[in-house]
Chain A
Amino acid sequence: MSIGGEKGSASTKTPADFLKSIRGRPVVVKLNSGVDYRGILACLDGYMNIAMEQTEEYVNGQLKNKYGDAFIRGNNVLYISTSKRTLAEGSS
């Protein structure tokens, strides 16, 4: 028996399943320091190390930096959230 039962094949069951399902999606990654990273989630691993593309760094809601590719060390991650906003709209 898996958590969440057998029904709902589209829904994710475990945190790890969720992380697998959001690869390639636009995400917001918040770090313990409060800094936000918005970009496309390329991949991640069991340590929650994250590879992102077209990453924008927000400090106190202000865009501070852009990275073509970025590796974020997992121990700094507070949460990963999917964002509907596209990159063009994300800076507004």
Chain B
Amino acid sequence: MERLIKLGQDMVLLWQNYSAGYLSGIRSTLILAVVATVIGCIIGLICGVLNTIPYTKNDPLPKRFVLKLIRVLVRVYVEVFRGTPMVLQAVFIYYGLPYFTSNTVQWPGVWAAAILVVSINTGAYMAESVRGGIISIDPGQTEGAKAIGMTHVQTMLSVILPQALRNIMPQIGNNFIINVKDTSVMFIITFTEFFAFHRYITGVNNMYFPSAAIEMIGYLTMTLIASILLRWIEKWMDGSDSYDLVQVDPLTMTAGTYSHPDRGTPFDERSKENREKIRQELKFGRTRGDR
């Protein structure tokens, strides 16, 4: 019990002295996670769409070759970035650029490098999620779109992707929460986010455990808020469960007189029946409704 009280006191003490540092760490973590998740999703969407362009044996050879090549490249990208730790990717990308260019080219800043690393990492995971999302939409809808003359791109943009995006929302949420936590490995390239500040604090004083507790609470708060927001976004994407019947329609003018371009209904002046009726009336006079 005394231990807990001591821990609480130390945490309060730390917070009083260093709250600005913790908060700026949180800010960096969140900005990096949000930006990288958005860019990662865009990379994933592009890869997923490229990966699902259909081709048949009848297509010309260059088209088949290009599509095959794209699929191989996407595959390599996904396997490499999904299959290696993000810490090492960060090291390779951040220190690799000056290393291979003999220090003539430097990263413009640690932010650019960090965003790049986390984005392409997220993109590798999202590529597979997007592919899954696209193939989860029943092929009948693609056929329906084709049957009214829509091209592949039109079908994707207006029919498949909006639904695929909804279906992979939980995955996007997963990735965002993973990014909030895993950006902590960016300390390796001296990026100062939330966890990096903890490392700094424990360097200047010996309150390692209280600071770790603050970190825990901080991360949990961020991810919980993210979860709630994501659920809310999913609900919003689902739209309303009910709909209004349109009893009075602004276009009911056409009711009863609707017609196929060259034909009419019996009530239409252009229709054969009506013309015949008028002809008969002219010949024999009205037979109905006459006084």
Instruction: Report whether chain A binds chain B.
Output: no
**B→A interface (CB under 8 Å):** none
**A→B interface (CB under 8 Å):** none
